[in-house]
Structure 1
């Protein structure tokens, strides 16, 4: 197997990368299994377990659809949470008073085209496409886009230091809002 020594990963590179700072190999399959497990937690509405996949210094971001690459410190985002705000979001979503999500949406996620794009001394950068189908109150919506992850190896799995969900929508109509976790 070929190890990635840093920088962007060419399209023909095998699906492995040297694990940051550990000298072992991280396979794309291990990353895919982690992403599928994360999706299952969200689809099963196991949000408390999902938030535990994040590091204490994490960022979870859904940028505005018209400026997906803008600096979130200088522009508006749909969601830009650090760990404390992410935990508070989960607490709010689980309450019956959260009318937009009570009863909660039924979702089904498809994750694909998973690619290791870069590695550093302590993390692996990953890109993946997503389709999230949402059923709520007799209405069916789909959200499509791509995820950008910064994953930190943690034993035999990973923790999420950064997750950015970039929607491939030019607007949120007919969906109108995002009241669940992408």
Structure 2
């Protein structure tokens, strides 16, 4: 298992890649069996919900994670070209379990996004399963649960949390 400090450093690195729009490097942080999920604000019991049975804003496997990174990097991604300015803040990182090469982590996040003179905030809690992959760490699962009643004030979710 990873220590809290190791998990925290890894999450800070992920946030830096996202803020720098290094999306190929971000996608490379995910394992081959990865899941990246964003629960809808309306999802009941979002930490335990099954994305096959309830509404999720994003429920991606590794192919879609990589595809999302490629699409958002292109000039044809009109919603994100030019790119938004983002700041991913990660706090209250805690190791909540794990065994063997897996470490389960919970963290709070706030993502500030500025686009066309408008700043919006996406905040919530992330549940992650991190795995040791040789000398590196990979994300096997990341589920972001938004602490919002709706996305009305935020508009479209075109960034990565």
TM-score category (smaller protein): over 0.9
**1:82 partnered with 2:61:** yes
Cα shift readout 1:47-68 (whole Å, capped 9, x = no counterpart)? 0000000000100000111112
1:142 aligned to which of 121, 131, 136: 121
Corresponding position of 1:3: none
Query: For the residues of structure 2 that align with 1:159 and 1:86, how far apart are their CA atoms?
Result: 13
How far 1:131 moved relative to its partner? 0.7
Contact 1:65 1:169 in 2 (8 A): yes
Root-mean-square deviation over aligned CA pairs: 1.1
**1:29 partnered with 2:5:** yes
Query: For the residues of structure 1 that align with 2:125 and 2:131, how far apart are their CA atoms?
Result: 19
1:71 aligned to which of 35, 47, 50: 50
1:177 is paired with a residue whose SS is coil
Matches within 5 A, 1:155-166: 155-166=134-145
**1:111 partnered with 2:87:** no
Query: For the residues of structure 1 that align with 2:86 and 2:54, how far apart are their CA atoms?
Result: 29
Query: For the residues of structure 2 that align with 1:36 and 1:155, how far apart are their CA atoms?
Result: 20
Query: For the residues of structure 2 that align with 1:124 and 1:76, how far apart are their CA atoms?
Result: 27
Query: For the residues of structure 2 that align with 1:91 and 1:155, how far apart are their CA atoms?
Result: 26
Contact 2:3 2:95 in 1 (8 A): no
**1:122 partnered with 2:101:** yes
How far 1:157 moved relative to its partner? 3.8
2:25 aligned to which of 49, 56, 63: 49
Corresponding position of 1:98: 77
- Structure with larger RCO (C-alpha < 8 A, sep 6+): 2
Normalised TM-score (structure 2): 0.94
